[in-house]
């Protein structure tokens, strides 16, 4: 869709370190790649959007929202995946898996306010960089089918498609759409977890489920039993579970259930923001692909 009167799609020449994503601290991927930046809030999970807080409020790089901007990142940034692809064989030898690229952490690939030519360019890079696994996460699964390239067919072998689901309502509506789209891996990002989510006992299931609590100022509550319950569902239904973080020590079971102070809990559990252990163990599995 070409840029319309309600927003501006602009090119950006600045090689910001936050955008370029040479490496990342996100536990479930190795790199982040942002072909453009800018987005719009679509559901309660977006209320405390970290990307908006950084790129709009803090760095003043792009205006968020329906009447805001989508800025294409620099040509230098677009060359990064090509470099990672060249290095992929060495990376796998050293790390035991193909490099995983989260696309896009500061935008949404299936945002309908993005110039369609940019998305065409992105999928061309994805095809070229076939030694990378591309983790494409969206809050707009209703747009996926109409925005995929014409040669998608049964899915690109190196693209994992995911959607966020912060509660049962969002899971039910978004998974219903995502499961209809062919992909080698389909996944759910239950982050920020704002309510319980249970997996259906019949029908097609995601291959992978990431859970995590909200972090930062104004972070909302995550109940420990929500995470335990959905991990139990994953175990029973052969879905790979990955618990990223509790978000805040106020959510951590060591504090909520064991009565520790946040400082005491941090000593025992320093995995991720707010800790990440589930009953003393890290639960960080990936779907069956290396």
Joined together, the tokens standing for residue 185 give 């891996």
Per-residue pLDDT of the chain (290 residues; tens, 9 = 90+): 333 323 333 333 333 444 445 577 899 999 999 999 998 888 988 888 877 777 766 666 777 777 788 999 999 999 999 999 999 999 999 999 999 999 989 999 999 999 999 999 999 999 999 999 999 999 999 999 999 999 999 999 999 999 999 999 999 999 999 999 999 999 999 999 999 999 999 999 999 999 999 998 889 999 999 999 999 999 999 999 999 999 999 999 999 999 999 999 999 999 999 999 999 999 999 998 65
Position 22 in a domain:
no
65 within some domain? yes
Asked, for residue 17, whether it belongs to a domain, the answer is: no
Is residue 86 in some structural domain?
A: yes
- 60 located within any domain: yes
Domain range holding 212?
31-282
Position 2 in a domain: no
Which residues, including other chains, have CB under 8 Å from residue 275's CB and lie 6 or more apart?
245, 246, 249, 252, 254, 265, 266, 268, 269
Domain membership of residue 145 (yes or no) is yes
Q: How many domains does the chain have?
A: 1
CA dist 174 and 168 (Å) reads 10
Residue 8 lies in a domain: no
CATH number for the domain that contains residue 247:
3.80.30
């Amino acid at each position: 869709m070409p840029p319309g009167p309600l927003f501006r799609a602009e090119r950006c020449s600045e090689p910001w370190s936050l955008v370029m994503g040479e490496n990342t601290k996100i536990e479930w991927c190795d790199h982040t790649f942002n072909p453009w930046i800018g987005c719009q809030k679509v559901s309660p999970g977006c209320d405390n959007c970290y990307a908006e807080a950084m790129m709009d409020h803090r760095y003043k790089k792009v205006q968020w929202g329906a009447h805001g901007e989508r800025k294409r990142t620099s040509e230098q940034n677009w060359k990064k995946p090509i470099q990672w692809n060249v290095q992929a064989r060495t990376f796998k030898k050293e790390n035991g898996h193909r490099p995983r690229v989260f696309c896009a952490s500061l935008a949404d690939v299936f945002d309908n306010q993005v110039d369609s030519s940019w998305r065409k360019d992105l999928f061309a890079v994805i095809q070229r960089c076939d030694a990378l696994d591309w983790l494409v996460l969206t809050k707009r699964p209703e747009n996926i089918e109409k925005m995929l390239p014409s040669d998608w067919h049964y899915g690109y072998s190196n693209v994992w498609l995911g959607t966020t689901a912060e509660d049962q309502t969002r899971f039910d509506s978004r998974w219903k759409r995502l499961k209809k789209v062919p992909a080698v891996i389909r996944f759910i990002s239950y982050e920020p977890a704002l309510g319980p989510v249970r997996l259906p006992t019949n029908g097609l299931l995601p291959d992978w489920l990431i859970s995590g609590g909200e972090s930062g100022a104004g972070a909302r509550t995550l109940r420990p039993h929500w995470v335990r319950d959905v991990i139990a569902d994953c175990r029973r239904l052969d879905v790979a579970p990955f618990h990223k973080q509790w978000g805040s020590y106020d959510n951590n079971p060591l504090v909520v259930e064991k009565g520790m102070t946040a400082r005491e809990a941090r000593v025992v559990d320093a995995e991720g923001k707010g800790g990440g252990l589930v009953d003393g163990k890290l639960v960080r599995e990936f779907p069956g692909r290396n």
